Amino acid sequence: MLLVTGPVTANMREALERTYRATPAPKWVVAVGDCGRDGGVFAGSYACVGGVAEVIPVALHIPGCPPNPMQLLEGLLALLQFQKSP
C-alpha cells in the first residue's frame, strides 16, 4: 500500500511513478487529505502536478485537511472490506 499524504509536485512525479512500478502486487494507493486528493491549497501552483490520481491509479481517497485518525482507519477498513467482497 502506498499512502500519499500530499500533493504531487513536478519534482516528485517521477519518484512516485517509480515507487508505484516497484511496488509488488496487489497494489493499493491511498490519497490522504485534500492535498493528496486534488492538490488542496497547492492546486494550480506552477510546481504542483495535482493530486495523486493525476499520476497513478488511486484505490481510495480519504478527504480532510488533515483527516483525523478515525477517518483514516474507517477508510482503510472499508478498502479491506471492498477487496474481500466477491
21-61 pLDDT, tens digit per residue, is 999 998 999 999 999 999 999 999 999 999 999 999 999 99
Report the number of distinct structural domains present in the chain.
Answer: 1
Is residue 82 very low, low, confident or very high in pLDDT (cuts 50, 70, 90)?
confident
pLDDT value for 85: 64
Using CA atoms, how far residue 66 sits from 37, 40, 82, 83, 84, in Å, is 11, 10, 24, 25, 28
The dihedral through the CA atoms of 59, 63, 65, 67 has a sign that is negative
pLDDT over 80 (residue 83):
no
Q: Which domain holds residue 34?
A: 2-84
Residue 15 is part of a domain; what is its CATH number?
3.40.50.12280
